[in-house]
Structure 1
Amino acid sequence: MKLIEAIRARLIADWRLFFRFWSVRLNGLGLLLLTGCQVATDTWNSMPADLRNAMPYAQGISIALLIGGLIARLIVQPKLEEQRNG
């Protein structure tokens, strides 16, 4: 119980709206893409050559999405602000 209370004490005030944050969405998309890259790497030999050639781009895109998520967390989201205040 102390662990749960300690975690709750450190959460942001509007943690229940976390799925509405663009930073969470972009990080989730980046994580999904990175996971997809890992699965594809495990089956590398069975993939067509054109898909193998596209893999480096997928990793770069996923890194860009994760960085974008960090930046997006700093930007005011008007619709989210309405839900916080209303």
Structure 2
Amino acid sequence: MKIIAAIRARLIADWRLFFRFWSVRLNGLGLLLLTGCQIATDAWNSMPADLRHAIPYAQGISIALLVGGLIARLFVQPKLEEKRNGNQ
């Protein structure tokens, strides 16, 4: 129980709304795209040439989404603020 209390003490006040944060959404999308790139890389030999040429762009886009998630965390999300204020 002490471990759970220590973890809760470190969480942000509105941790239950984490799925509404754009930073979480963008990072999740970036992770999904990177995972897709890894799966595509494993099946490289069976892919058509068009798809092989598109993969570097997908990796760049996924990195941009992850960076965007970090930047998005800096901005206030008005709808999320309404939820935060409504729950308190």
* Fold shared by both chains (TM-score > 0.5): yes
Aligned to 1:46: 46
Structural mapping, 1:29-44, within 5 Å: 29-44=29-44
> What is the total number of aligned residue pairs between the two structures?
86
Residue by residue, what CA displacement relative to the aligned partner does 1:49-68 show, whole Å, maximum 9, x if unpaired? 10000000000000000000
Query: Where has structure 1 moved over 4 Å in runs of 4 or more?
Result: none
Q: Percent identity?
A: 90
2-side partners of 1:3 and 1:40: how far apart? 40
1-side partners of 2:52 and 2:2: how far apart? 48
- After TM superposition, the score normalised by the length of structure 1 is 0.97
1-side partners of 2:44 and 2:3: how far apart? 42
Partner amino acid, structure 2, of 1:77: Q
Task: Tell me the C-alpha RMSD between the 2 structures.
Answer: 0.7
Aligned to 1:5: 5
1-side partners of 2:3 and 2:39: how far apart? 34
1-side partners of 2:52 and 2:64: how far apart? 20
Structural mapping, 1:1-86, within 5 Å: 1-86=1-86
